[in-house]
Amino acid sequence: MRNQLRSFFFFVILLASMTSLLLIANLSSTTADEDTPSIQPQDFREHQVFLAHKSNEWEEAEELEELEDGEEVQTTEVSQQEESKSNENNQESEEEETVKDESPKEEEVVDSEEDVENVEQASMSAEVAFKQFPAKTVVATGYTAGYESTGKTKEHPQYGITYSGLTVQRDVISTVAADPNVFPLGTVLYVPDYGYGIVMDTGGAIKGNKIDLYYETVDEVYNEWGKKSTDVYVIEMGDGSVTEDDLVYWEEQVQSEALPVFNDE
């Protein structure tokens, strides 16, 4: 549009100039004396040169504008190409980061599955191992060495002393009270959710298929056990007596993993 307007003005000016020259020529021819030299051709040539010069200037200006417009278009295209490449690079970087972020998650899932499999295999192995020992269903309760269970206070000389003469303990192998007619002293039992125990004590209310599991405090009795029916595994039947050497021996058997151990211990 801008180029069309300039061309229009150019032709208008050219037409006006030529009209003016014709008018001047006519006037000069009618009024000039014979002795007056004519300057028409010279003025006409000067106007032609002027107009030609202006025309060249306008053409050069138009060409310059076209070049500038072309350069702007090229610059815009280059900028768009660079922006497109930048967006592609950013997208690739985000995809790589996403892949990196997903890899640890996949590894965590694999590790978790392997841990579950290991736990299941260990549990199955322990269950299979315990099946070699006879099991017996009993009603198990908990007791302490305190007055609420034995009627003895800490000042009593026999406080914490079991029927076997040994002191109660809650350790790798713990104190169990049982009916000697069912489980003689020295019998080693495995009680799920409690651990290994050895019959060291008896009780007036512990008759038949009942056992008492030793705990150090009343809170532990109620919070960790209470009263429940459970299957116990008879590792070895006792001969009616138990000594410190027996305790040391069975503790070593458990710690050296010569005996199977459940994972819930």
**CATH at 189:** 2.40.40.10
Give yes or no: residues 141 and 207 share one domain.
yes
Q: Is residue 126 part of a domain?
A: no
Residue 230 has pLDDT above 90, yes or no: yes
Compute the C-alpha angle 32/35/41, nearest 5°. Answer: 60
Structural domain range at position 206: 134-255
Let me know whether 212 and 153 are in one domain: yes
Q: How far is CA 69 from CA 8, 59, 205, in A?
A: 22, 15, 108
DSSP 8-state code for residue 216: S
Res. 169: pLDDT tops 90: yes
56-70, 143-157, 186-200: least confidently modelled range: 56-70
Q: Among the ranges 2-6, 26-30, 115-119, 187-191, which has the highest mean pLDDT value?
A: 187-191
| Phi-psi category of residue 240: left, alpha or beta, with phi > 0 → left and psi -120 to 50 → alpha | left
pLDDT of residue 16: 78
What's the confidence (pLDDT) of residue 119? 47
Domain end among 48, 64, 85: 85
Answer yes or no: is 203 within a domain. Answer: yes
Mean pLDDT along residues 244-255:
94
Per the model's pLDDT, the better-predicted residue between 144 and 90 turns out to be: 144
Q: Looking at the domain assignment, is residue 55 inside a domain?
A: yes
138 and 79 fall within a common domain: no
Q: How many domains in the chain?
A: 2
Does residue 95 fall inside a structural domain? no
Whether residue 243 is found in the same domain as residue 143: yes
Whether 77 and 140 map to the same domain: the answer is: no
Same domain, 184 and 249: yes
Angle between helices 40-130 and 2-31 (to 10 degrees): 180
**pLDDT(40) > 70:** no
Q: Tokens in use for 22? A: 């014709």
| Residue 113 placed within a domain | no
In a domain, 98, yes or no: no
Residue 211: the pLDDT is 97
Q: Indicate if 69 and 162 belong to the same structural domain.
A: no
Of 129, 171, 132, 143, give the one whose Cα is nearest residue 255: 171
User: Given this model, what pLDDT does residue 44 score?
Assistant: 47
Do residues 141 and 48 share a domain?
no
For residue 46, is pLDDT > 50?
Answer: yes
Note whether residue 106 is domain-resident: no
Has residue 60 been placed in a domain?
yes
Over residues 94-153, the pLDDT tens digits come to 666 655 555 555 555 545 665 555 544 444 455 666 778 999 999 999 999 999 999 999
